[in-house]
Amino acid sequence: MVASRVPSTSRDQQESCIFCRIARGEETNKILYEDESFVAFHDINPAASQHILLITKAHIPSLYSLLPTAEDIKLVKDMVAIGNELLSGTDPTQRKFGFHYPPFNSVMHIHLHCFELPHTWWGKHKYTETERPWAGYMTAQQLLDRLQTAAAQQAQPRTAHE
């Protein structure tokens, strides 16, 4: 469960984080979805015909804070499942989910971008799916693949010559 995560940032950083303030109800954003672990709202600078942000209530600074554990893999899968629910009235082939990672994220708090395509002109450049590490954006599936691959590698028994 997300709430059990040990905070990796100071109380001051969490107090000043805009997404933490939204999750606590201290901002005036229209909340589209909320449960014990997540909050969703429209992006203030939409990059697609529909652009929703899904954030964790617990302050997780970035993708670099995620570990290749069953808990964090489930976190990402849960985020994508909620994103699909939020876009349920749209064509599934026109949905896209992804994350920015430092230094390319504008808020140091993990957030899933949930898109109904097409992208705006800027959005198609800013949210391009690529394997290039300098691009700053990865799809939710790319993140899941990386976490699951790392988890599988950690689970393999070491041989005597390693």
- Residues with catalytic annotation? 113
Q: Hey, what are 137's tokens?
A: 């954006």
Q: Taking phi first (over 0 means left), then psi (-120 to 50 degrees means alpha), and beta for anything else, what does residue 114 get?
A: beta
CA distances from 80 to 102, 126, 134, 148 (A): 20, 20, 24, 15
Question: How many helices (H) and strands (E) in the chain?
Answer: 5, 6
3-state secondary structure (DSSP) of residue 113:
strand
